[in-house]
Structure formats: structure tokens, C-alpha cells
Structure 1
Amino acid sequence: MSGQYFSDSYVEETRLGFLFLRSHTWQHRVLRVAIDDLRSLFSEPLPESPVVLDAGCGQGKSFQYLHTAFTPAKILGIDADPLSLQLSAEEARRRGLNVELIGSDCADLPLADASVDMVFCHQTFHHLVEQEMSLAEFYRVLKPGGYLLFAESTEAYIDTWVIRWLFRHPMHVQKSAAQYLDMLGNEGFHFTAHNVSYPYLWWSRAKDFGLLERLKLVKPKPFGEREETLINVVARKPLSALIEGKAS
């Protein structure tokens, strides 16, 4: 572990970024909207009473929305920042929710193979340096037939002057929407176009947060003509998957 964190490659957030993650905007306009969208992307009935791993749970603001959307038997919250875990514990107690918190790097999860039904990874992946290892760990800990709920900002958003000025990210690992989909497929996850969405939300509009569009000074670009800044995916680990390999 490097310094105070549970990861050698942890990229510390700015003070402003840390405060933003407890704001009403983050909870109501970002987290809630993403979880509602992810829930709509399932092709099959939702798992009953799932064990849900919140990978990069931050300050625990997702817990209430995960509980409402999926009625989990248990939530596991993992984060590399001890202070975030402390705040997550307070959030879970305040909400009266069953949450087990673990300090860990996503690239080396202290969980058994095939032990969770769902992995929720929301706006976490672009913070991770060891992305391939983390994705392999998500695959490993999911039960066959389990789901990865993947919601990310793309390089087109992260690599803008305002985001680089306000927040801190490992820039050399940022990816496009297509590159994220390739990663998921290469790891062995299954999904179709029905399981993927490209939200075009005001806060994700590169450069001006959609201000010029709201003022009707420019027309919004339609899907297929714009560079996507957000991608949500519900990807499934095949039912045939072996613990030792990708699939039987």
C-alpha cells in the first residue's frame, strides 16, 4: 500500500472533487439517473435478492439507490480510500442498510471466486490505472450468469480543460465508448445493443455543459454524429463460465 491508501496506484481526487461526490447534484442528477438507466438495460428478469458489489463505492451515496432498484440481500462496498470508507459507513448506518465495507484495490479484490451476483462500477473505472486487472477481477468474483453494471465517462469528456482543471484522473488510461465495449467483450462478458446506452446529459456535454444548446445557439448533434461522453452497459458473465477460465 502506498501511503494511506489501499492501492499502490491510487490517484488522489482534488478537494473539490471529493466535496462534489457528496453533493445533491452528484446524488440526484448523476447516481440516481445512471442506476435507473442501468436497470432499464436488463434483457432478463432482475436477480432476486442479489449480493451487489459496489466497486469504488466512494462515500456510499449509491447505496440508497442500489437498494431501491435491486433490493439486494447485501451490498459490499469496496474503495481504496479510508476516509471514503468511513463516510460510507456513516451513510449505511444513516440509511439502515446492510453494507459490508472493504478497503481494497479493484485490481486485487479480497473476495472469493463466483461470490457476487452483480458488480456496480459507476464512474470508477476511469480512475483506475490497472484497468485490465480490475475488469478481470470483476469477472472472477461474479457468479456465472452474474452482471456487471458499467457506467463510465469517456476520454472525450475526461480530457476537456474544465474536467482536467477541476478533477484529477490518470489520463493515460482514458478510453472511448468503443474501446470500453471492446474491453468488456475481450474479457468474456456478453451484451447486445439492447444492453448499452449512450446518455447525452447536460453535465456530460464536453466543453460547455450544453449551455449553447440550451440557449439555442447551436443544435445538439444526433446519435452517430457526436463523440459519446457517457456509456452505460449491463454486461453478463456467461452461465457456462468456469471459475478457472472464460467459458466452458
Structure 2
Amino acid sequence: MSYLSDNYVEETRFGFWFLRSHTWQHHVLRVAINDLRDLFRAPLPDNPVLLDAGCGQGKSFQYLRQTFAPRRLIGLDADPHSLNLSGEEAARQGMDVEMIGSDCASIKVPDASVDLLFCHQTFHHLVEQDQALAEFYRVLKPGGYLLFAESTEAYIDTWVIRWLFRHPMHVQKSAAGYLEMIRRQGFEFGPQNVSYPYLWWSRAKDFGLLERFGLRQPKPFGQREETLVNVVARKPVEGCA
């Protein structure tokens, strides 16, 4: 397979299958998009241009349309096969989605041309994370929003995830590490724009099975190492602090 990035980390067969599963669509994607919507503390942009960075097989498209009503939706991925599947998914949904084959570290989109940039469970696959975040900042309009949803190192670096999936382990970060990285790039957000979902599938080590069977109590917020972090971060308007 020829990928559109020199640093692309190929997914396992299981991982590729999982990205089209019911669990992925309804318990991961849909839940994350709803949570990101709830993290807005300002009106949503009207008729936005929305870029899905790392769109995979396009399973996010229907939820992004329902939630954000974009006038233009762009799907970006570095895997040509995934892009083809995304195009097929858009056709099934009756949607007009522009497909771009591109690395997140070098996005083929003009400066300040995007209102919303959706990056869901993509960033931990990227080797050139600083360059990708700089590209996200570049393509967003002043006042535009980064919708960032990620699994953290505490989850990615567990034996079951390392066994089932494939990731560049040397770039994984904690929740605090991702938030600091986004803030350092120049994005603005406050505590009200951040959430730490504690979902059954995101439990480190056992997917919450011990809790489900009553063999262990879930750790409360502040006493656990977070496995998920979602943030809605704004690119400042020029001249504004």
C-alpha cells in the first residue's frame, strides 16, 4: 500500500475492521461529537466549513452533518484506501464531501479557510504532531475552532491496545500534555471547554469489566490517570487577547 505520508503507521487488520464497527460509530464517534458540541460556550458558526482531519472511513460524516450543519465538509486522510471508503460512505449518506489525500503535517488547504477542524482519535497516530498542530492553526480562520478528542498514553500504552492496534508509541502524551501542546500552539480554551470522559471502552487494562461485574469501584475524577481528553479550542481573532 502506498500512503500519502512518509511517517504513516499502518493499522492492523483488526483496527481497520473496528473503524467500521457499530461500537466505533455509536459508542465512540457519536458520543465524542456530542460531547464536543456540549463544550462550546459560544454560538456555533453558521454554515461552517468543516475539515475532518483523519476522516478514516467516513463514519463521522453523518454525525458532523447532524451536529454542525456544515455548508462544506472536507474529509482528509493519508490512506488512499480509507479515502475511497469515505467517498463511498458519503454517497450512501447522500452527502457532498470533498476528499483530500494529505498528511496532517502538510494539509492541502489554504490559510484561514476552515471554521471548524475536527480531529478525533487521529492525533495519537501522527508522528509529526507539532507540525500537524501548526497546520491545524494555519488553516483555521481567526475565531475558528479546533475540536480535539483523543485517547491518552495511559490508554494507548496498555497491553490489550498494543496487541490489537498499532501506534507510534514515542509520541503518546498524557491529557495534560495534549492540552499544553494545544495551548502552546496559540489556541485558547478554559476549563469549561475541556472534558475527561470516563467511558467503559476507555478504561485502561480491562475495558471496565471489573467495574461492570462489581469487582472494583470506578476511581473518581482527580484520583485516576485520564484515558480520554476532549477540548474545544479557539484560534484567537487577530488583535484580541
TM-score of the two chains, using structure 1 as the length reference: 0.96
User: Which position in structure 1 is the counterpart of 2:113?
Assistant: 115
User: Which position in structure 2 is the counterpart of 1:161?
Assistant: 159
Residue correspondences, number: 241
Q: Which AA in structure 1 matches 2:20?
A: R
Please give the alpha-carbon distance, in whole angstroms, between the structure 1 residues aligned to 2:30 and 2:143: 25
User: Which position in structure 2 is the counterpart of 1:215?
Assistant: 213
User: Which position in structure 1 is the counterpart of 2:225?
Assistant: 227
User: Which position in structure 2 is the counterpart of 1:133?
Assistant: 131
Q: 1:170 aligns with which of 168, 171, 174?
A: 168
Please give the alpha-carbon distance, in whole angstroms, between the structure 2 residues aligned to 1:56 and 1:235: 18
SS at match of 1:126: helix
User: Which position in structure 2 is the counterpart of 1:41?
Assistant: 39
CA shift, 1:239, in A, is 1.1
Please give the alpha-carbon distance, in whole angstroms, between the structure 2 residues aligned to 1:103 and 1:131: 18
1:35-92 Cα deviation digits (max 9, x unpaired): 0000000010011110000000000000000000000001100000000000000000
User: Which position in structure 2 is the counterpart of 1:13?
Assistant: 11
User: Which position in structure 2 is the counterpart of 1:184?
Assistant: 182
Verify: 1:90 aligned to 2:113, yes or no: no
CA shift, 1:5, in A, is 0.4
Q: Which AA in structure 1 matches 2:131?
A: M
CA shift, 1:217, in A, is 1.0
Please give the alpha-carbon distance, in whole angstroms, between the structure 2 residues aligned to 1:140 and 1:232: 21
Please give the alpha-carbon distance, in whole angstroms, between the structure 2 residues aligned to 1:125 and 1:84: 17
Verify: 1:70 aligned to 2:68, yes or no: yes
Please give the alpha-carbon distance, in whole angstroms, between the structure 1 residues aligned to 2:213 and 2:84: 42
User: Which position in structure 1 is the counterpart of 2:147?
Assistant: 149
1:91-112 Cα deviation digits (max 9, x unpaired): 0011011210010000000110
SS at match of 2:222: coil
Verify: 1:61 aligned to 2:55, yes or no: no
1:202-222 Cα deviation digits (max 9, x unpaired): 000000111111111111100
Superposition RMSD in Å: 1.0
Q: Which AA in structure 1 matches 2:176?
A: A
User: Which position in structure 1 is the counterpart of 2:202?
Assistant: 204
1:15-50 Cα deviation digits (max 9, x unpaired): 000000000100000000000000000010011110
Percent same amino acid at aligned positions?
74
Please give the alpha-carbon distance, in whole angstroms, between the structure 1 residues aligned to 2:218 and 2:27: 20
Structure 2 unaligned segments of length 5 or more: list them. Answer: none
User: Which position in structure 2 is the counterpart of 1:52?
Assistant: 50
User: Which position in structure 2 is the counterpart of 1:22?
Assistant: 20
SS at match of 1:90: helix
Q: Which AA in structure 1 matches 2:237?
A: L
